[in-house]
Copies of this chain bind each other. A is one copy, B any other.
Amino acid sequence: MSKKSDKSAGWVSFDPNLKIVDCTVRDGGLINAHKFEEGFFRKVYDTCVAGGIDYMEVGYKADKKLFSGNDNGPWKFSSEEDIRREVGDNDTKLKLCAMADIGRTDYHNDILPCAESALDMIRVATYIHQLPAAFDIVKDAKDKGYEVALNLMAVSTVPDYELDNGLEVISGCDEVDYLYVVDSFGSLYYEQIDDLITRYKTTGKTLGIHAHNNQQLAYANTIHAAINGVKLLDTTMMGMGRGAGNCPTELLVGFLKNPKFNIRPILDFIQNAMYPLSQELDWGYSIPYMITGHHNEHPRSAIALRGSERKDDYLGFYDEIASP
């Protein structure tokens, strides 16, 4: 191939600033209420370390006063002691992060100063109308010494003027280190991802991408974003994640040329842990997720269908979603 894009690192070189954020436990845990088998977390961690992954998202920082510890596994809460029990002082190159949702996190109490925590980054997931509340968590986390990412959800349903206004406000918030392009509904194709990247770049923030696979585009949109200047790339092992799932870690590691990445331990882990899990739990592309993606809708109705006896009633589901 002779063409060389001025935007990418070219065919055989690599961009050392491209980082992978493995979200298997956090996003995959949405399928099983974070009730993974004993030992699963540690295997994900060991695999991320051995595979050269940059960040591992350990889970949510949900408020135990709001959510039951019986109905949810430990990574719904990601307490400091649970993290420490698994990773000790995390004396590795792998950084750890956790996600805080607006109104669901007692961040003043549950997020320790970074110096006392095993975590390196806090990711704040927010809808655009929650931005003021999000900034409170962002500032709290930054004051405590963390790297901070802001994940702006469901933007495929936000009008342009509102999005541009939101981006203006974000660009004024110095505490945001990373701003994420999030394709919550798996409804965006690459021209739309391009459009969002162009707008988001106006904030001056380093960008990330979190893609969903409703239209078999999670990986495609992720590499498209990487080639066009986005630096933090979210993935999960075998694409495990709610609904249609995510960009698979193994696909992205096979694409990126940085020699620090190592696909062998990832394939080993997938073969021995993820593949068996995929036989128990339903995730990944299927036609109901395509239908909600095409219609730019939250996948919750498709998730409900896939959990019912009607799971392959594609036409009936289409008629429900497409009816005015």
Contact = CB atoms under 8 A, between A and B. Distances in A.
Interface of A: 1-3, 5, 8, 160, 189-192, 194-195, 198, 213, 215-221, 223-224, 227, 238, 248, 250-251, 254-255, 263-264, 267-268, 270-271, 275, 287, 290-291, 294, 312-315, 318-319
Nearest to A278: B312
Given A195-B1, A220-B190, A267 B215 contact: no
Given A250-B290, A268-B315, A271-B313, 12 more contacts: A1-B195, A8-B191, A190-B223, A191-B227, A213-B216, A215-B251, A216-B218, A216-B248, A254-B290, A263-B318, A267-B287, A267-B315
Contacts of A216: 213, 216, 218-220, 248, 251
Nearest to A5: B191
A225 to B, nearest CB: 12
A287 B314 contact: no
Contacts of A238: 287
B251 A290 contact: yes
B189 A264 contact: no
A247 to B, nearest CB: 9
Contact of A191 (B3, B312, B313, B314): B3
Given A254-B290, A287-B270, A290-B251, A1 B220 contact: no
A8 B191 CA distance: 10
A7 to B, nearest CB: 10
How often does this chain occur in the complex, in copies? 2
Contacts of A190: 190, 220, 223-224
B215 A270 contact: no
A270 B313 CA distance: 10
A274 B324 CA distance: 28
Contact of A192 (B1, B267, B312): B1
A236 to B, nearest CB: 14
19 contacts: A1-B191, A2-B160, A3-B198, A189-B220, A189-B255, A190-B224, A213-B216, A216-B216, A216-B218, A216-B220, A217-B219, A220-B220, A250-B290, A251-B290, A263-B318, A264-B315, A264-B319, A270-B314, A271-B313
A275 B312 contact: yes
A39 B175 CA distance: 64
Contacts of A223: 189-190
Contacts of A251: 215-216, 290
B271 A314 contact: yes
Nearest to A3: B195
Which 5 residue pairs spanning A and B have beta carbons closest together? A220-B220, A254-B294, A3-B195, A271-B314, A267-B314
A296 to B, nearest CB: 11
Contacts of A5: 191
B318 A1 contact: no
A221 B248 CA distance: 18
